[in-house]
Structure 1
Amino acid sequence: MKKIFIYFLAVGFLLETSCDDSLEITAAHDFDIVIEKSTYAVDEEITFQLSGEPGIITFYSGEIGCDYEYRNGRIVPPGEATLSFNNRVIYGTQPNQFSVLASTDYSGLRNIDAIKSAKWIDITDRFTLATTDAYVPAGVADLADVVAEGMPLYIAFRFIQDPATNAAPRTWNINNLALTSITTIGATLLANHLTGGFELFYVGPKETSGRSSVASGSITLRANSNWSSVPAYTEDWCVSKGFDFGAKDLGPDRPVKVKGNSDAKTETFTYSYTKPGTYKAYFVATNATIKEQETIIKEVTIEIIP
């Protein structure tokens, strides 16, 4: 028993000595960075000269998603909402067949009763509608007054075939649609006519085979093929999925690893920017043990020109 006690005492002493040695933190305060100049061109390689003996080095470029100022989280406030598309019209003479609508009141249920019971805002007059069979840009419409915080926005194209007009129906095509959110982090394309979840719903005895469609080339809205021999009032609704234009929690911005504890000493780091602007770049150097940590932060302002 005496020998066993002495053995464990010796092992304990060795472990304690080893731990004590590992707790002697190496200073990080001697870390520094140097660059040749403060102005660089887009895609030009920047070489940062690194000095000191930090165990861990990370880099924040100052770009969106890698910005030190947002290391604890980034909340993007609501921005602008815009809608644009190209359109054309062929055949017929029936007036006021085509309209563009928006709603934050729609429940999202994918049936015509839910669609018809929602409150839709007519935004047709915000666009330039075609008068010939050549595609024309409808323009870019601001939807800021339509968007409601916490409510999804739905877009609909409605096509009415009304025999009471005594006029031949027309055919409308929509392509190059862009529903865009413009916030403090830039413009984001939320949907085109294929990714917007557009689906067709009908009022009245509507033919569906070979008529209105959502296809790769365009959204097509057209009347029944037998409209002249079997006149009937119909509506075609092409309705998108819902889009959230409210504030977004993007979580914390993340740095780029330059050096880890187990890596050899790093004396240079290279980086290039893809967009012009003025960036505040940060290097965070850290030495740490299980009991203590020392961190030093170095900041440099870099101008990127086209």
Structure 2
Amino acid sequence: MALSAVTARPLYNGSTCPDMSTAHEAAQSATRAYSRWHTRNGAAMQALNMRGMNKKDARLRSVKRCCDQVVMQVFQGHATVQLQGSTAKGTSLKGRSDWDFFVRLNDNLPTVTQAQRKAVHDQLQAQFASAGIHYRMQCGENRIRLFQGRDVQGPLPNCDVVFQRYKSDVRLPPNSKALASSHTAQQVVRYFKLLPRRYTNLPQPKSSRLEQAVMLLDNHMRCQRGLRKHDMEGPAGYDRLLNATMQAVAGIGDLQAVRGVPDSLQQAGMNGEWRLGRYRCLL
């Protein structure tokens, strides 16, 4: 039976139930309305997050002021907020956020507790509402994600409120310009940067020199080994570049002799314990 042939039926209270064709049309209308909203707002938000927002933009500074006020209240003046480039965007979490509001601890505060993170999350929602700013928020272990943001002037960029976990956890704004052309290289650098913090007692490598070594290996594999662009992208490309970097660090194979790579790895501090650790992993 066609939808248009279904007629209205009386309900137990004497009113009538709209026919199925009316309900179908209402659903289609709602779908079209959402599509128009997404075209008007979703595309603008996506474009904004792709091109980013200037650090000195007044709207971004308004978001930071809200973070400043909440952090001051929760930590009683023992922490400050630093606006910096996203640690996520410069690594494998591509496109996750444009900016980090890094909550830096002073000497009187050794760490950040779960209760303090939750308090920042709750108070930040209220602070944004009073300032005419709307963000969807998600509280994680070490950061609060701010996404799908808007104010009266339009969409706002995705941001993260990142908590310094311990006083010794000193982060610097990432320098990812050298990696802008290779998302695969970003992932490899992130792998080696996370190893000392999460899995081993190896010394933390120097980012800029590690990035230089990875990019030299990436260029060598493209030019000298005949690999095409798509061969060095995606999961397969990541495996190739990660394995090549491991071999260079461990001093195995011919990749360790690629011009500039040994010096870059040595300047990154990835010799000694690093070489021994990687060699054991590859055996």
Q: Shorter-chain TM-score category?
A: under 0.3
Higher helix share: 2
Using the size of structure 1 for normalisation, the TM-score is 0.20
Higher strand share: 1
Question: Computing the radius of gyration over CA atoms, which structure comes out larger, 1 or 2?
Answer: 1
